[in-house]
Structure 1
Amino acid sequence: MGQTKAGAIKVNANKLGISVEEYNQKVESGLKNCFRCKQWLSLDLFRSDKSRYDEKNPSCTKCRNAYCRSRHKSIPKELRKPLGPPPSPCRDGDKRQARARVNHRIKAGKLPHPNSLACVDCNHFGSDKRHEYDHYKGYAGIHHLEVECVCTSCHGKREKQRHDSQQATE
């Protein structure tokens, strides 16, 4: 019986527990029964769906939104893929790459700006000296992001000590 329009109307009216005349009256007055909340609502509360006989979605927008929200599963932050291309592999001894990686982390907010931290060696904190990150373990690929915040004078002392110890071993 549901193969014709009249049969479909009869089936829908029976499902709702009302007569065919009452069903037709509500449809003619611009109402539609929501599939989910089972209420008669105005047609403008339904999204369009060109595949349906009345070109309207069977559930109202409020019910449809609630249903879609209930089915949505957000991905935890830890499991989300990072935006952009994957980083290039770490190259041992590449100072430029190591510095670029640290600068990128600062810009992304994953590392604090060095001027906002105290010097690890002399505990200096303030704007009268510039602070920078020191690759204290060297520029090996696995140590690119292992840095300490030092002021420029302490960084110079560290560099001199490294240079002197390197000269002594040669």
Structure 2
Amino acid sequence: MAAILTSWRLAGGCLLLALLCGAGYLAGKSTADNRWQARWSQRDAADAREAARHQAQISALEARRRREIEQVTQHAQQQLSALQDDAAAARAGAERLRRELERLRQSRTTAAASGGGTTADGSVVLLTGLLAESVERNRQLAAEADRRRAAGMACQQAWQAMTDSQP
């Protein structure tokens, strides 16, 4: 009976030793898993911080580009407004010139009616008409050239703002 009791004790001791080894293994595995999980969490947090920092840089860059484009657009509008004011002044000058030519033509017509100079009258009328057409066409061309110049300069400034702000 003592042999059976000794065998049971031996079996119980082996079982206890196996349980302790299993528990030690599981505890070590759990500790290692926790360490790796902590490392992964730190890496994920660092990645998230880096992504947030990068997104903030991109947002700041886009905001700066947007402000630069708005400034270019505002500057182009101011230039266009100044060009339109200049064109209005040129139109007023052309209108004064046209009225002066019309007055001269009327005085020539009156002089021709009283003196009989029809050839000079025809020349003045022809020159007056040609000058009026020329002034109108020049005004149209100048307005278009001014508009295109302002648009081109705005485009160039916008491009410069975009290329200068490349990271």
TM-score range, shorter chain: under 0.3
Comparing both structures, which one devotes a greater share of its residues to strand? 1
Bigger RCO (CA 8 Å, 6+ sep):
2
When normalised by structure 1's length, the TM-score is 0.21
Comparing both structures, which one devotes a greater share of its residues to helix? 2
Q: Which has the larger radius of gyration?
A: 2
